[in-house]
Amino acid sequence: GVTWGNPEGHGLAIIMMKLRNGDHSMYAQTVEQCSKLINGTKKALKVAEQDPFAYTEDEIRHLKRSLRSLYEQRKYLNSGNGFGND
């Protein structure tokens, strides 16, 4: 996977990502993993808002895109019948 970090050490701005099929989006297999990634991504975006030099425009765009994807993943993971969705 790829690790993003903020060199200034602002809070929990480290995002772990698993690459799948050339897609650079974040992927979680459980609701708990998904929620942790969502919280970490939101914190990274908050840091980016407060410190304009913390991330590049491409990184911010990637974080926002990943956040939307994570919300969709969490919704899918929560929609199961209790026996898993895979």
Of residues 81 and 10, the one with the higher pLDDT is 81
The string of pLDDT tens digits covering residues 23-41 is 555 677 889 999 999 999 9
* Closest to 54 in 3D by CA, of 22, 18, 13: 13
- Residue 40 near residue 15, CB atoms below 8 Å: yes
Of residues 5 and 81, the one with the higher pLDDT is 81
- Residue 1 near residue 19, CB atoms below 8 Å: yes
The whole-number pLDDT of residue 62 equals: 95
The whole-number pLDDT of residue 19 equals: 35
Q: Counting beta carbons within 10 angstroms of the beta carbon of residue 48, is it exposed (0 to 12), middle (13 to 18) or buried (19 or more)?
A: buried
Helix (H/G/I), strand (E/B), else coil: 2: strand
The string of pLDDT tens digits covering residues 41-71 is 999 999 999 998 999 999 999 999 999 999 9
